[in-house]
Amino acid sequence: MPETPTAFQRGHDHDRCVRHALSAAADHCREAGLRLTPLRRKVLQAVWRSHHPLGAYEICDALVAEGDQVLPPTVYRALDFLERNGLVHRIASLNAFIGCNQMGRHSNGRYLICSDCGSVAELPPDELLERFAFEAGAMAFEARSVRLEAVGRCAACAAGTTGP
């Protein structure tokens, strides 16, 4: 899986993007009375810095590379916190995590997952998801989260600019 940015992420200032995400997360936590501890912040930063979804063990490695001694339970607990509070998403089909760019509306979401390069683009929830939640409600199913995952091939890979 290449480390290069994908079509969805290419051409932007990623450092700036990461800084923005972290400061937005800090604001969100302050307002909500949540504790964005140094560890949690580092985990969130590692996730945001990556151009593709990061597994828990990859996060471990990233923090260890920065000089922190971090073991899996620590990372998983930080990820629990971040996910519960809508700061990261777990992409179940990849066992990996991405930063959430729709803070607060984190229970619903739409994802485009490229099976070639592993990149994931998050689209905002739309009325399709709302409507599905409504239909489910009509069947007496109380939907807490509705997530749509499309697996396929991103524009960059289709264009052959990142692929083989």
Partner DNA sequence: AGAGAAAATGTTATATTGTTGCAATTCTTT
Partner DNA sequence: AAAGAATTGCAACAATATAACATTTTCTCT
52 contact, one of its own copies, DNA, none, CB 5-8 Å limit per kind: none
* Tokens of residue 19, six digits: 């800084």
As measured in angstroms, the least distance from the Cβ of 121 to DNA is 21
As measured in angstroms, the least distance from the Cβ of 43 to DNA is 9
Amino acid, res. 146: V
Nearest to 58 by CA among 41, 75, 38, 73: 75
DSSP 140: T
35 contact, one of DNA, its own copies, none, CB 5-8 Å limit per kind: DNA
138 contact, one of DNA, its own copies, none, CB 5-8 Å limit per kind: none
As measured in angstroms, the least distance from the Cβ of 113 to its own copies is 9
As measured in angstroms, the least distance from the Cβ of 151 to its own copies is 5
77 contact, one of its own copies, DNA, none, CB 5-8 Å limit per kind: DNA
Q: Using CA of residue 9, residue 13, residue 15, residue 17, what is the dihedral sign?
A: negative
Q: What are phi and psi of 123, to 5 degrees?
A: -105, 150
Our CB check for DNA shows the closer of 77 and 131 to be 77
Amino acid, res. 46: A
